[in-house]
DNA sequence: TAATATTGTATCAATATAATATAATACTAG
DNA sequence: CTAGTATTATATTATATTGATACAATATTA
């Protein structure tokens, strides 16, 4: 089962694995919205050029959802946020043929980070495991990106500039974005992506970034307003030489109601 | 962690567990449609009054999806069917407080079925694990329900007459049905649930059973026909004293196209 | 041949949608 | 102060969709 790679014997890892942890993981696609761009929170590993989605093992006494919340909280400081499971990934070759793990790199990293830390279960290096993908939409301004013990940086990266990620993380990210695109047509979004108050243009741009195509302004406004999830606030004086737009905020009560009912077509 | 229950020490199971299998499982909600009822395929266990969804462990060299297909194939003989992952379940208390496992019953069963069979991994008795829920829509007529080595019966049960199931299987079933209900509004269904040729009434009844509410006949017909996924065939002479309905069949090409595009509302 | 049940399609008002137009700003330049 | 400019909020219009109902066309039975 194990094979040598670049002179490194992966089986060495097997000894380092604490037995106390579950063999399953979660990976979080944490999306924020900033300067008209959709951004995803990524980790840059220590010492080597490895990037990955924030993830973690599920503790044996922990709910699956709780593990995802924990990862989100550890990497952003945020709690009680929109977080949704979207798919579990379990291709047999997650760590091998299809998405090769560079054992040499991992080896060099581990040589520098002794694994006395019980929180680190590196079974994924040597054995296929499942990971459940979650995605979160968060207020980028409120988040406080924090690297873990294997990573040296935790950064917002534009979804148009995502580097090659560890294992199948690029696929996980892509799947999350497609899922979000679909969700748009039967769920309101934006409550946690936008600041408290925002203009109609802000909201439209968010939608356009997600579905990756332009929308007709007047029709977008009409459709959104008809959902009844927005409260109109005062006008925003930008200093620009044009009519000042209204500010809006989400009406939490109605927003949640629409989330429950769903929008759009139904038989 | 382990506790005695009805005088039986669950830890005894731990020794019986082969190490060769992954600790994750799939459970399949296999739905069929018969006599105007939606039915789910359930297993009745040997010797004791235990019912469950068909499920199985994921082999260490097996794709997650492949494991679900295998379960479906083993229990129905069917292959290449609509089968979709809908959610992974991982509540910490899956096997304990919230959904107690009756160790006494399991014990009695295992006393009669010696576990020399390597295919049986009963770790789920002693330890929390994740299970990924899949649902399949199959042609009930074409399926050949077949029990496994732990079960004595494999039967179609009306979703209105489902007994108490093992662990959280009732929740898994409920979640699958809710998921299907939602899917209805942006995917065509019926291709694998109905026979080759069917009447408009057949299709409407199927929809009504799934969403659990009546639909207006003329409007349903108009909406469905507009999707362009049906080919009209000859008339069906039933011998009933009324106008004979047309038979329809799904146009596979257009059907798949619509599955890809989705139907209904979009921004 | 009339009665009956069910089907296929038409009708029509109400509503929704896409594309475009118009009026109302908030500021700038002169 | 006024005209110009960019942008916003909303109106308009033609077209399409929806929900509710109506009605003609069968296939059989009485």
Residues 173-212 of B, Cβ under 7 A from nucleic strand C = 199-201
- Cβ atoms A242, A267 nearer than 8 A: no
Average pLDDT value for residue range A94-114: 70
Of chain B, the percentage scoring pLDDT greater than 90 comes to 51
Distance of C1' in C21 from CA in A244, Å: 20
Q: What are the tens digits of pLDDT across the range A148-171?
A: 888 999 999 999 999 999 888 999
Q: What is the mean pLDDT of chain B?
A: 83
pLDDT over 50 at A265, yes or no: yes
Q: What is the mean pLDDT of chain A?
A: 82
What pLDDT does residue B149 have? 83
pLDDT over 90 at A223, yes or no: yes
Contacts of A187 in chain B (CB under 8 A): none
What pLDDT does residue B23 have? 67
What pLDDT does residue A172 have? 96
Burial of B253 (0-12, 13-18, 19+ CB in 10 A): exposed
Å between A15 CA and nearest CA of chain B: 16
Q: Do B264 and A266 touch (CB under 8 A)?
A: yes
CATH class of residue range B11-183: alpha beta
Specify which of A23-37, A70-84, A211-225 reaches the highest per-range mean pLDDT: A211-225
User: Strand order in B198-199's β-sheet?
Assistant: B198-199, B246-250, B230-235
B interface residues, A as partner, C-beta within 8 Å: 22-24, 58, 60-67, 85, 87-92, 127-130, 132, 182, 184-186, 207, 211, 215, 220, 223, 262-267
pLDDT over 60 at A17, yes or no: no
Q: What are the tens digits of pLDDT across the range B33-53?
A: 988 899 999 999 988 889 999
Q: What are the tens digits of pLDDT across the range B137-186?
A: 998 888 999 998 889 999 999 999 999 998 889 999 999 999 999 888 88
CB atoms within 10 A of CB B43: 25
Which of A62, A64, A263 lies nearest to residue B265, judging by beta carbons?
A263
Query: Which of the nucleotides lies closest to B238 (Cα–C1')?
Result: D27
**DSSP assigned state of B124:** G
A201 vs A124 pLDDT, higher one: A201
- Cβ atoms A33, A209 nearer than 8 A: yes
What pLDDT does residue B118 have? 43
> Residue A100 corresponds to which tokens in the numbers above?
């090769």
Q: Please give the Cα distance from A21 to A24 (Å, whole number).
A: 9
What pLDDT does residue A93 have? 64
What pLDDT does residue A109 have? 78
Specify which of B13-17, B51-55, B99-103 reaches the highest per-range mean pLDDT: B51-55
Instruction: Give the residue whose CA sits closest to D28 at C1'.
Output: B241
**What fold, for B198-261?**
Arc Repressor Mutant, subunit A (1.10.10)
Rg (CA), chain B: 21
Which residues on neighbouring strands pair with residue B198, listed in sequence order?
B248
Assess whether B217 (CB) lies less than 7 A from strand C.
Answer: yes
Which residues on neighbouring strands pair with residue A135, listed in sequence order?
A29, A84
Q: What are the tens digits of pLDDT across the range A191-207?
A: 889 989 999 999 999 99
Which residues on neighbouring strands pair with residue A137, listed in sequence order?
A31
CATH no. of A4-183: 3.90.79.10
Q: Do A186 and B185 touch (CB under 8 A)?
A: yes
Q: What are the tens digits of pLDDT across the range A178-190?
A: 999 988 888 888 8
Of chain A, the percentage scoring pLDDT greater than 90 comes to 50
> Residue A50 corresponds to which tokens in the numbers above?
């490895």
Query: Which of the nucleotides lies closest to B217 (Cα–C1')?
Result: C7
What pLDDT does residue B96 have? 59
> Residue A215 corresponds to which tokens in the numbers above?
């929308």
Q: Do A88 and B91 touch (CB under 8 A)?
A: no
Q: Do B85 and A87 touch (CB under 8 A)?
A: yes
Query: Which of the nucleotides lies closest to A247 (Cα–C1')?
Result: D8
pLDDT over 80 at B93, yes or no: no
Contacts of A27 in chain B (CB under 8 A): none
What pLDDT does residue B97 have? 60
Going from N- to C-terminal start, the domains of chain B cover 11-183, 198-261
Q: Please give the Cα distance from A191 to A231 (Å, whole number).
A: 12
How far, CA to CA in Å, does A233 sit from each of A199, A203, A221, A247?
10, 15, 15, 5
Q: Do A61 and B186 touch (CB under 8 A)?
A: no
Which residues on neighbouring strands pair with residue B199, listed in sequence order?
B247
What pLDDT does residue A98 have? 66
Q: Please give the Cα distance from A225 to B11 (Å, whole number).
A: 59
Region of poorest pLDDT, from A103-107, A181-185, B10-14: B10-14
**DSSP assigned state of B243:** P
Assess whether A239 (CB) lies less than 7 A from strand C.
Answer: yes
pLDDT over 70 at B2, yes or no: no
Contacts of A206 in chain B (CB under 8 A): none
B9 vs B158 pLDDT, higher one: B158
| Helix ranges restricted to H, B158-251 | 169-183, 200-211, 217-227
Report the residue count for chain B. 267
Query: In angstroms, how far is CA A15 from the centroid of its own chain?
Result: 31
SS3 track for A30-87: EEEEECCEEEEEEEEECCCCCEECCEEEEECCCCHHHHHHHHHHHHHCCCCCCEEEEE
Average pLDDT value for residue range B180-197: 88
Which of B62, B220, B263 lies nearest to residue A92, judging by beta carbons?
B62
Which of A60, A65, A265 lies nearest to residue B186, judging by beta carbons?
A265
Q: Taking Cα atoms as reference points, which of B26, B37, B17 lies closest to residue B62?
A: B26
Q: CA B99, B105, B106, B112: dihedral to nearest 10 degrees?
A: -170
Average pLDDT value for residue range B123-148: 83
């Amino acid at each position: 089962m194990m094979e040598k790679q670049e002179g490194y014997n992966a089986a060495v890892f097997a000894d380092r694995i604490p037995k106390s942890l579950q063999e399953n993981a979660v990976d979080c696609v944490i999306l924020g919205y900033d300067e008209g761009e959709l951004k995803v929170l990524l980790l840059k590993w220590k010492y080597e050029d490895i990037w990955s989605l924030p993830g973690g093992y599920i503790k044996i006494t922990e709910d699956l959802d709780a593990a995802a919340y924990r990862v989100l909280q550890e990497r952003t400081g945020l709690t009680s946020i929109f977080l949704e499971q979207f798919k579990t990934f379990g291709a047999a070759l997650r760590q091998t043929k299809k998405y090769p793990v560079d054992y040499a790199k991992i080896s060099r990293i581990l040589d520098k980070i002794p694994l006395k830390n019980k929180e680190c279960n590196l079974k994924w290096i040597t054995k296929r495991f499942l990971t459940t993908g979650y995605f979160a939409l968060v207020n980028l301004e409120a988040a406080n990106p924090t690297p873990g013990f294997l990573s040296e940086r935790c950064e917002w990266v534009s979804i148009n500039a995502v580097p090659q990620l560890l294992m199948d993380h690029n696929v996980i990210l892509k799947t999350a974005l497609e899922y979000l695109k679909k969700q748009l047509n039967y769920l309101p979004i934006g409550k946690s992506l936008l600041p408290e108050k925002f203009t109609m243009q802000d909201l439209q741009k968010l939608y356009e970034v997600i579905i990756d195509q332009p929308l007709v302004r007047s029709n977008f406004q009409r459709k959104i307003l008809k959902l009844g999830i927005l409260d109109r606030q005062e006008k925003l004086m930008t200093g620009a030489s044009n009519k000042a737009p209204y500010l809006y905020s989400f009406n939490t009560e109605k927003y949640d109601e629409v989330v429950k009912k769903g929008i759009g077509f139904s038989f």
